[in-house]
Amino acid sequence: MATAATAAWAPQLAGVRGLLLDISGVLYDGGEGGGTPIPGSIEAVARIKQSGLKLRFCTNESQKSRDKFVGLLQRLGFDISVNEVTSPAPAACQILKERGLRPHLLVHDDVRSEFSEMDTSNPNCVVIADAGDGFSYQNLNEAFRVLISLDNPVLISLGNGGRDGITPPVVGKEGASEADPLLCFSAAGPHDRRQHMGDVGGAQRCGMRALHVRTGKFRSGLPHGGGGASDGSEGNREEQTERDQPHLRGGRGCWGNRKKRD
């Protein structure tokens, strides 16, 4: 049954042609054994694909390659392929190629394969991510030495982070921009976006609509948007798909959850 909140934002879904879904906390919760699907999420993905809407997925996962991450999701029962998923590492590679940068990589070993086509000799920038056990004194010091040797040091972060004196471009949901590869799957213009995205603030800074899903790390009382309120707030994915499908024709859209910040 439609709620008052649903009725308030449903008109904004008119003309939607595609959806961009967050993954962690929206489709599944991580944990032992690879995690578990959120109830209704597998069915929701299947129904969206059957509807004919364009569908892509985004994640801030920076400790696994897309191949490994998608393999995990497939084992959980999701109908998802690698070419449907955008993550920080391939987005960073696009930036590196466009700027002619050669990275020194301070990243997790399992994500290095995403940078296999990049020239890492004589590095003129540093790419940093959640390197796990790779965050040793030796590795951090090596990355620091690369930065201080450069006239114009460049640090690219696969998520929020930084270094004194350098403001890194953030590649991920929080750093979404007009040129973000996440948006390239749709032919709609920048002012024709209707998106319910996981991190809400990133979607809104792109000029999209953002719908907050109360799953994953949701806690009542937390703000629904990154720097502002979300355009709507609803329950699990299957129920949301049931209510939204009549409105999703002809524009863009996306769902996500507002994750708790440390």
Q: Give me the chain's average pLDDT, please.
A: 74
| 257, pLDDT greater than 50 | no
Question: pLDDT, tens digit, for every residue of 127-163?
Answer: 999 898 998 999 999 999 999 999 999 999 887 654 5
pLDDT at 90: 92
- Is the pLDDT score of 196 beyond 60? no
Residue 6's pLDDT is what?
54
C-alpha to C-alpha distance for 189 and 124, rounded to whole angstroms:
34
pLDDT digit string, tens, across residues 57-73: 999 888 999 999 999 99
pLDDT at 154: 94
Per DSSP, what are the bridge partners of residue 105?
Answer: 127
pLDDT attached to residue 34? 81
Half-sphere exposure (CA, 13 Å, Cβ side) for 222?
20
pLDDT at 214: 64
Higher pLDDT, 163 or 24: 24
The Cα 119–Cα 125 span in angstroms is: 11
Is the pLDDT at 53 greater than 80, yes or no?
yes
What pLDDT was estimated at residue 147? 94
Local confidence band at 235 (pLDDT 50, 70, 90 cut-offs) = low
pTM over 0.85: no
Q: What is the mean predicted confidence (pLDDT) over 170-183?
A: 53
Residues 6+ apart with CB under 8 A from 23: 57, 58, 59, 61, 73, 85, 198
In this prediction, residue 207 carries a pLDDT of 64
Task: Using pLDDT thresholds of 50, 70 and 90, give the confidence band for residue 51.
Answer: confident
Domains of the chain: 14-87+175-256 (3.40.50.1000), 100-171 (3.40.50.1000)
Give the pLDDT score at 66.
Answer: 94
